[in-house]
Chain A
Amino acid sequence: MKDVTISYGRRAASYWFADGLPEMLFGLVLVIMAALMFLWHLYVPKRWIRLDLLIVVAGFTFYYLMERKILDFLKSQVTYPRTGYAQPPEEVPRRVQTLTTLSLRPDPPAKENVTSFQWRTVMLVFWFCYPFILNGNPLGRWAVPVLMPALAITLFAVNRRSERPYRWWSALILALAGLVFLWVDVPAPLQRPLPLLLAGGWLLAQGACTLVHYLRANPYPRTAEGVRV
């Protein structure tokens, strides 16, 4: 018999992504990193190449440290008054690290209110963009047209059964956005941050669409929660 408690935990984990804010935040961080890298290459004549790496490391560190605090604030303004608050999902690696030694049944976890967004999306984007950050444009003209479809397919495949799956047409948009650069010449200062910009823009746009849909479906309640228990 299927354990019905799994469904509610999974629903709560999916609920974390119902408003699109987690994707928007990560997308925004990526776009800001790309913009900083672009400005650095545009205005600084003697480029210290490692600063690219520093910007990315600082950006990802900021994201890891501040993600939950920022999202909690945003959700308390946008989501919780509209559709309620449920305990945010834990990241899967953190949970495994703390519970495997204590639990007799670590896999699958008893409560499935867990998310793998950080390693299924954030880490994938980081590792796909890493060659660019380190070596500039490793494959020349072919780099972005090869990388972005590969990233899109990987994101789609890896997240297919996660709490936040991507739609095939959404992944197709990311892939096509990369293929466009087979015919479009990219100016030198934009070559290095381009994958971050595309991935960030894609996530930002996708999150924004989800948010608009969510806000339309759930207008702000006229009266505050009146509970008599």
Chain B
Amino acid sequence: MTQRAQEIAQLDRVIHEPARLTIMLILYGVSEADFLYLQREGGFTQGNLSGHLAKLEEAGYVEIEKKFKGKVPLTVCRLTGKGEAAFAGYSQRMLGLLKPDGSAV
């Protein structure tokens, strides 16, 4: 196995899944967003988004807070410190792998 193949195998699989990567990207850009915003931005179904958020929460990457704005329930999601670090590491590694010489950015 080449070094590059090893690095690919070591990618964070929790983030690497496209739907979860989209969620991480959105949350990295805004810090905080509710379920409906994530659903619209990512084009997810409700069940799909719930499932992926649960996995990200389980990994400790996302924090989910349920609250009310008036009478409207609001499920606010935000990246944790661990999530931000994991995402930064993932994007750096990914960008490095996509460079022709394979060097880290």
Contact = CB atoms under 8 A, between A and B. Distances in A.
Interface string A76-99: 110011011111000000000000
B74 A85 contact: yes
A86 B36 CA distance: 9
A5 B70 contact: no
Given A8-B25, A227-B50, A228-B50, A76 B30 contact: no
Contacts of A87: 30-33
B26 interface: yes
Contacts of B71: 224
Interface in A1-47: 1, 4-12, 15
Contacts, number: 95
Contacts of A102: none
B29 A111 contact: yes
Interface string B41-56: 1000010001001100
24 contacts: A5-B28, A7-B29, A9-B29, A9-B30, A11-B29, A11-B41, A12-B30, A77-B70, A83-B37, A84-B35, A84-B36, A84-B38, A86-B33, A111-B30, A224-B71, A224-B73, A225-B36, A225-B72, A225-B73, A225-B74, A226-B46, A226-B73, A227-B66, A229-B53
A148 to B, nearest CB: 36
A18 to B, nearest CB: 11
B98 interface: yes
A224 B50 contact: no
B72 A76 contact: yes
A52 interface: no
Given A76-B69, A224-B73, A227-B46, A84 B37 contact: yes
